Amino acid sequence: MIIDKYPWLEDCINQNSINNFPPASVIEGEVGLAKLQLALYFAKQLLCLKSSKPCSGCNSCSYFEAQSHPDYCYLTSNSASNNILASSSTKKEKLNTTSVHGIRSFNQFMSRTNSVSLKRVGIIFDGEKMNLHSQNALLKILEESSKNKFIIIVSSKRKFFLPTIYSRASLISIKNPNSSQIDTWIKDQGYIDYSTLNFSPDTTPLNIENLINENRVDYYQNITSKLNLFCINEIDIIDLIKFFKDLNISYELKINSIITYLKICLGILTKFYNEHPLITSIKKKDVDIELLNDLVEELVNYKVSLNEVPTLNEQIGLNYFFSQFKCVFK
């Protein structure tokens, strides 16, 4: 049962029964909250021929599990289901979430008559990557929605879509489980040597599982410890830059880790997060919250520029941003 595996989804499932499921819905939540699994559960539930829960025994459920259901389709940011590919004259590389062609082909599939089930279901994954044109194309589909046709849009960004999309779709927002819920879940998965204290406070359950399975648990702890030591003047900027340059991760991930550290400091200062044993700088230093906010914003903008100009000098960038730490942590 999906609730047994992802218990934080229980409220979402209980509040969206098969009997009154909306024709269009937006599932929103952070990366690592099992949004994909929830969307697939709802799709299978809607298509099932026998019960209000997927039975796994009817023809519809068998087709769905075999990934060959004739009344189900999906789009992702880089692909489309076979039944969309087979029925569209558009080039394969244009059939995706970000393309107007992909959304239109999705709409064409959804407008057809059902084959096996009484309903037809389409899922748009990676909704946060849709541009304005594809959102407008999606809006046209939502305006033309008909009986027994269900569209589920999945997004890893909250409040991302046009207001007119939200006005035509029901919002299913997945809340982040609290630390005690995540600790229980971690133990239930058999990871008895770990707890939320091993990870960033905003790390979601499935991201935690990935970090454990990829042996990258030390990633957050080592970076957080070094940044904290720098903020309390126990290592200098030369040592910190050397540490970051030796990390076997991309420059973008390095910048992202710095942003994460600063956001956690801000969260602790504003009581959004509990205190963390690896972060002592905010107790030992006078932190300028306004400058901290400004530095986070500057780093976020810098990370965006990395995608546009990937040759930006790492040494210069790290030196500049770490020098700004001294203004924040006085």
Write out the two tokens for 192. 């008895």
Q: In this structure, are 64 and 161 located in the same domain?
A: yes
Q: Give the pLDDT band (50/70/90) at residue 172.
A: very high
Are 25 and 107 in the same domain? Answer: yes
What region, left, alpha or beta, does residue 113 occupy, with left being phi > 0 and alpha being psi -120 to 50 degrees?
A: beta
Angle, in degrees to the nearest 10, between helices 314-328 and 217-231: 60
Structure tokens at 183: 């600790």
Q: Are residues 52 and 120 in the same domain?
A: yes
Q: What angle do CA 282, 283, 284 make, to 5 degrees?
A: 95
Percent of the chain with pLDDT over 90: 62
DSSP letter assigned to residue 195: -
The arithmetic mean of pLDDT across residues 43-53, rounded, is: 83
Chain segment 80-115, per-residue pLDDT in tens = 899 898 878 788 888 899 899 999 999 999 988 888
Q: For the chain, what is the domain count? A: 2
Other C-beta atoms lying within 10 Å of the C-beta of residue 293: 14
Query: Is residue 199 situated within a structural domain?
Result: no
The pLDDT of 251-273, averaged and rounded, is 90
DSSP H or E stretch at residue 72: strand 72-75
Residue type for 312, please?
Answer: L
CB 46 within 8 A of CB 21: yes
Same domain for 292 and 159: no
| Structural domain includes residue 206 | no
Instruction: Name the band, by pLDDT with cuts 50, 70 and 90, for residue 276.
Output: confident
CATH number for the domain spanning 221: value is 1.20.272
Does residue 194 have a pLDDT over 80? Answer: yes
3-state secondary structure (DSSP) of residue 53: coil
**Taking 90 as the threshold, does the pLDDT of residue 141 lie above it?**
no
Q: Domain end: 110, 138, 173, which one? A: 173
Q: Are residues 110 and 221 in the same domain?
A: no
Dihedral sign from CA coordinates of 257, 261, 267, 270: negative
- Tell me whether strands 170-173 and 24-28 are parallel, antiparallel or unpaired: parallel
Inter-CA distances, 208 with 37, 190, 274, Å: 17, 13, 18
pLDDT in the model for residue 53: 66
pLDDT at 146 over 80: no
25 and 169 inside one domain: yes
9 lies in the same domain as 152: yes
The residue segments making up the domain with residue 124 are 2-173
154 lies in some domain: yes
Q: What is the CATH number of the domain that holds 9?
A: 3.40.50.300
The amino acid present at 60, given as its one-letter code, is S
Query: Does residue 229 belong to any structural domain of this protein?
Result: yes
Question: Is the domain of 25 the same as that of 114?
Answer: yes
Question: What pLDDT shows up at residue 296?
Answer: 94
- Asked whether residue 211 is domain-assigned, the answer is no
* 223 and 156 inside one domain: no
pLDDT, tens digit (0-9, with 9 covering 90-100), for 207-242:
999 999 988 888 888 999 999 999 999 999 999 999
Query: What is the reported pLDDT for 51?
Result: 66
Q: What is the C-alpha separation between 11 and 113, in angstroms, rounded? A: 33
Task: Please check whether residues 19 and 164 belong to one and the same domain.
Answer: yes
- Is residue 244 domain-resident? yes
Q: Does residue 126 sit in the same domain as residue 236?
A: no
User: Per residue in 299-312, is it b (16+ CB within 10 Å) or e — as a string?
Assistant: beebbeebeeeeee
Q: Does 129 fall in a domain?
A: yes
Residues 297-318 have pLDDT tens digits of 999 999 888 877 767 788 899 9
Q: What confidence score (pLDDT) does residue 19 get?
A: 82
Residue 208 lies inside a defined structural domain of this protein: no
For residue 50, pLDDT over 90 is answered with no
Query: Can you list the alpha helix ranges (DSSP code H) found in the chain?
Result: 2-5, 10-14, 35-47, 59-65, 82-87, 100-110, 132-143, 163-167, 179-188, 205-213, 217-231, 237-246, 251-269, 281-284, 289-308, 314-328
